[in-house]
Amino acid sequence: MRRRCGLTLRTFQRAVGLCTAIPILIIAAVSCGRVREQGQHAAVGVAFQFGERIGWLHGACLAISNPNLANGTPVVLVITGEPQKVQQSRIQAQTNSPASCQALMEGRAKVNAKPGMSFYVLETGSIGSTDMGFGIVAPPANPVVVNGQARVDLDQDGRSEVFSSCATSEGIKFAVWTEKAYQGDPRWSGYYYLDYESTPTCP
């Protein structure tokens, strides 16, 4: 936007001279200022970044495509199960240790620790060692469990996001959908490689 304002100014300088340009400069500055203000307002309503703010978890270890989560950052957990459960937690520390993160065990790390993926130990609270689910970094609202399913409008578009997980042949597929699972394209998906086989359950 700044470039467009600058080009407009040069054009007018050539056409009508410096004297005429001065008032135009003032108008242009005011105009650019308005655009900048509008931009600031737009930034307040910035879209929910699903990729950076949702991850999957196994036990108290969160895997997420975000290397910048500070210790103490609040994370809301959706624990898969019937019914799904919602829990509050916080980032305790970033880790690359298989001792604190089952996804980084030998045989799994090569696939799970792909470039861009970070792993965080969560404050344990009531997270069980075999619990699996989703971690949502600072969601705009807390998920509410309705008929056994956690729902929350993450992108504030008036429609709720829901959560699904299922087994593939060698892992677990996690996904976030709008309104209904397995309908349309997922808003976010993640894959947890387990390094052993089981019967797939994904539809």
Partner 1 sequence: MEVGTTRRSDKRAYLFHWCWLIGLSKAKPSEATTMLGVDIEWNHGDAEKSKKGAKEMIDGFGLAVPPNSTNAPALHSNHIRGKAIDMNVSWTGTIKIKKKDGTEESVLFMGNVNNNTKLHAVGASYGVKKLTTDAPHWSLDGH
The site for partner 1 (CB under 8 A) is made up of 58, 80-82, 102, 105, 107-108, 110-111, 114, 129-130, 132, 165-173, 191-202
CA triplet 138, 148, 88: central angle to 5 degrees?
25
Would you say 21 or 122 has its CB closer to partner 1?
A: 122
Residues in the chain: 203
Give the C-alpha distances (Å, rounded to integers) separating 22 from 6, 8, 26, 33.
13, 13, 6, 16
- For the bound state, the minimum distance from the C-beta of residue 98 to partner 1, rounded and expressed in Å, comes to 8
Residue type, 188: W
- For the bound state, the minimum distance from the C-beta of residue 84 to partner 1, rounded and expressed in Å, comes to 8
Would you say 153 or 170 has its CB closer to partner 1?
A: 170
Would you say 21 or 151 has its CB closer to partner 1?
A: 151
- For the bound state, the minimum distance from the C-beta of residue 166 to partner 1, rounded and expressed in Å, comes to 7
- What is the spatial distance between Cα 131 and Cα 97, in angstroms, rounded to a whole number? 19
User: Which tokens in the block code for residue 23?
Assistant: 């008032």
Alpha carbon 175 to its chain's center: 12
- For the bound state, the minimum distance from the C-beta of residue 20 to partner 1, rounded and expressed in Å, comes to 52
